Amino acid sequence: MFIRRCLVRNCPYAARALQTSAEAQSRPRRALLYMPGDDMKKIRKAAQLDLDLAVLDCEDAVAVSRKSLARSTITTALNTLQFGRTERGVRTNSVSSGLIADDLAAILRNEIQPDVIMVPKLDTVEEARTLNMLVAQSSDTPVKVIFQTESAIGLLNLGSILEYLVTASHIIPVAVVFGADDYVSDIQASRDIEAVVYARQKVVAYARAYNLQPIDRVHIEFRELEALRAESKSGFGMGFAGKQCIHPTQVPIIQESFRPTPEQVEYAQQLIRSFNDSQSKGKGAFTFRDKMIDRPTLLQAQNVVNMFSDLD
């Protein structure tokens, strides 16, 4: 892992990388809800939800002719609305769009900055370098960034992009979002879950390797709530930390799905106690509820307990 290599070599970025790791893991981002940046009514509604992350969108949800209106509406919302516990995010346009410099200037020079910015369609290390330069032009301090992987080339370059971002001077990466709809269009596939298994697994593996949060695809059939619940639980089981959503009714289902159940927490806590007892007696592997337990299983149990503590 890059962070471990940095520590071994006394890399000057090691402390920053570890800080990023701790922050990314500690703040829940289970439901990531988009709302159009040019619609103050919808933004006000999002501010009143019990929501982990509200993303005010300058990109896909806003027509090209209304980009300027979206920027001014978003800055007004940041300056005037109270979001409570909800993390405030703004999605810019992509680096390749030619619009992101204006987005960043408006958002990062605003009286109140968002908690995090989200950058779509980050496909190459060169685009990541450009992003860092543009952020530096609008902010004196590093900015937390969530970025989206939405193409075949972006997925292939994901490791190199992440390795650059964790050393970038003005970016603190905290999460990686899988943009499934653009991805399946790019690879000329259907939107069936089978078509994106490889991509979803790769996003999880790379994000977790760099101690960032992987965020799963949108469930676009927003009225099919039981299907949403099943897909959310599946994503949680794959290692995703959260899921994108497009309608407020999806939020409670996603946030309930991306947390361990009371039964899982109780099982994990008892397993840890039994492991500690076994260690005190000088034993290695041991049996717990008819299962052979060793250190990897202990680490899984600790993940469950830690996740429960973060959300409690």
- Kindly report the backbone phi and psi dihedral angles of residue 278, in degrees, each rounded to the nearest multiple of 5, phi listed first: -65, -40
Query: DSSP states of 129-198 as a string?
Result: HHHHHHHHHH-SS-EEEEEEE-SHHHHHTHHHHHHHHTT-SSEEEEEEEE-HHHHHHHTT--SSGGGGHH
Residue 87 dihedral angles phi and psi, to the nearest 5°: -75, 135
Pick the catalytic residue from 181, 294, 310, 312: 294
Cβ-contact 75, 106 below 8 angstroms:
yes
- Tokens 């962070």 label which residue? 3
Three-class HEC string of 52-101: CEEEEECCCCCCHHHHHHHHHHHHHHHHHCCCCCCEEEEECCCHHHCCHH
Map residue 200 onto helix, strand or coil: helix
For residues 177 and 146, the answer to whether their CB atoms sit within 8 Å is: yes
- Indicate if 294 belongs to the active site: yes
Residues assigned a catalytic role: 294
